[in-house]
Amino acid sequence: MSKSAIILLKEHYLSHLKENPELLIGIELELPIVNTKREAVDLAVSKALLHHLVTTLDFDVEKYDLDGNPIQLVKEESQDRILFEVSYTTLEFAFGPVKTLLEVEKRFETYLSVIQDFLCERGHLIVGQGLNPQWATNDNQPVKSPRYQMLMDYLALGKNYSQLHSFPQYGAFICGSQVQLDVSRSNFYQVINAFNQIEAAKAYLFANSTFDGTDWDTRISRDIFWEASMHGLLTENVGVNAVDFATEEDFFDYLSQSAMFTVQRQGRDYYFPPVSVVDYFSKAKFEAVDLHGDKTILQPLESDIESHRSYQFQSLTKRGTVEFRSVCAQPLDRTFAPAAFHLGLLVELETLEHYLATAPFFTKWGRNYKALRRQFSKKELTAEEKSSIQSFSKDLLKIAKNGLLTRGFGEELYLSKIQLH
């Protein structure tokens, strides 16, 4: 290879960063479709939904599955997209960049009203939960699209690793609430550090994916699904970052330990057991598998960096944003609370950093951020734990509210929906 892994990562992720970007908001909401009779989702109903949205909401079809069904719609003016995420039982709303949360909420309510009317007439609904409650009875097949079929085939490799959980189909039924916010070349790793440090509070405030398929003591099963799957074989690839980054170089050194597991050749998808980015681009050749199960020998190409995507909770994207992706899908009346929380804190980044440097929460519990997230997402907290995490969360909510008040759009209203249970 003529370029090192670090250089390729920098070219991929830094090229769209601006020094003084306009603060735009990108929101992605994954929400389960459920059968109101508590039976398996009728996939004919969910597939018919997208046909209905084309005619009623003036969306265009952007992608079809292998059977000719629409699986991704786009509205040209706003660049909003509605699509199936991994399975036909998860609907994703991916909104084009906006300046305020109120713009997104208005469009979401318009779309959701039409969707709920259509589904309700057919005994189905969209619900605000971090995993589909009918996961055990649903047909969890991937959307008939090479990307999703590859992903599910890759996750199925987990059966070869005794330390991983036995639910490789989890991608078909977990649902998240993600927000992307613009960052600059000079502050992106500081943003990642700050939000990585508060994962315990995010776990406490936004946990919404208790799993009934096993006895995991957590209200955020999504964490375990990711971390104890093929995505988590390389620990740097998923979840909470183990370290704070002092420099840009620190960040890319860490990112170079995240995983490569898929590439394309001549439009065909291939996958292979995960290998760190730095090791991948040091290889002369490697064995990969296509969607027919056939093995082949490939050589790494510099363009393969386009297939890289880590599953860290604070992820730098190639669009010049940081994507915050640790939050479960929320109850529908609190859909935009997580985005408001992240947005307000980013506006007050300097205040947040000063607070976190001496926060009593860390004095008491230490700074193992990954362990803290697991500790404070338990189903039952001790009185001491509850008191401490509530105090920490209240302080963060106050900072976030000040940030939203500074913006002056009334977005602080969304924070009032957050409950300290």
| Backbone phi and psi for residue 152, each to the nearest 5 degrees, phi listed first | -70, -35
pLDDT at 10 over 50: yes
Is residue 52 very low, low, confident or very high in pLDDT (cuts 50, 70, 90)? very high
- What does the DSSP assignment read for 334-347? GTTHHHHHHHHHHH
- The pLDDT score that the predictor gives to residue 419 is 81
**Residue 57 DSSP code:** S
d(CA 357, CA 412): 25
Is residue 187 very low, low, confident or very high in pLDDT (cuts 50, 70, 90)? very high
**Across the chain, what does the average pLDDT equal?**
97
Q: How far is CA 111 from CA 23, 63, 82, 101, in A?
A: 25, 19, 9, 16
pLDDT at 76 over 50: yes
Q: What's the rounded mean pLDDT across residues 330-337?
A: 98
Q: What's the rounded mean pLDDT across residues 322-346?
A: 98
- The pLDDT score that the predictor gives to residue 392 is 98
Render pLDDT for 360-389 as a digit per residue (tens, 0 to 9): 999 999 999 999 999 999 999 999 999 999
Render pLDDT for 231-280 as a digit per residue (tens, 0 to 9): 999 999 999 999 999 999 999 999 999 999 999 999 999 999 999 999 99
Classify burial at 250, counting beta carbons within 10 Å of its beta carbon; exposed 0-12, middle 13-18, buried 19 or more.
middle
CATH label, 25-250+312-412, candidates 3.40.50.300, 3.90.25.10, 3.30.590.20, 3.40.50.720? 3.30.590.20
Q: What's the rounded mean pLDDT across residues 198-214?
A: 97
The number of beta carbons lying within 10 Å of the beta carbon of residue 255 is: 26
Q: What's the rounded mean pLDDT across residues 337-346?
A: 98
Strand partners for 216:
none
- The pLDDT score that the predictor gives to residue 1 is 47
Render pLDDT for 306-316 as a digit per residue (tens, 0 to 9): 999 989 999 99
Question: Residues with Cβ < 8 Å from 298, sequence gap 6 or more?
Answer: 263, 265, 270, 285, 286, 287, 288
d(CA 90, CA 84): 6
Which single residue is written with the structure tokens 């109850």? 331
Q: Where are the beta strands (DSSP E) in 249-367?
A: 259-265, 268-276, 286-290, 295-298, 311-312, 314-316, 321-328
Buried b (16+ CB within 10 A) or exposed e, 192-218: bbbbbbbbbbbbbbbbbbbbeeeebeb
Strand 311-312 and strand 176-182: the pairing is unpaired
Domain borders along the chain are: 25-250+312-412
- The pLDDT score that the predictor gives to residue 246 is 96
Render pLDDT for 115-173 as a digit per residue (tens, 0 to 9): 999 999 999 999 999 999 999 999 999 999 999 999 999 999 999 999 999 999 999 99
Q: pLDDT above 70 covers what percent of the chain?
A: 100
Q: What's the rounded mean pLDDT across residues 293-305?
A: 97
pTM of the model: 0.97
Do 361 and 391 form a contact (C-beta atoms < 8 A)? Answer: yes
- For the chain, the 3-state helix, strand and coil shares in percent, each to the nearest 5, are 45, 20, 35
- 129 token code pair: 């939960």
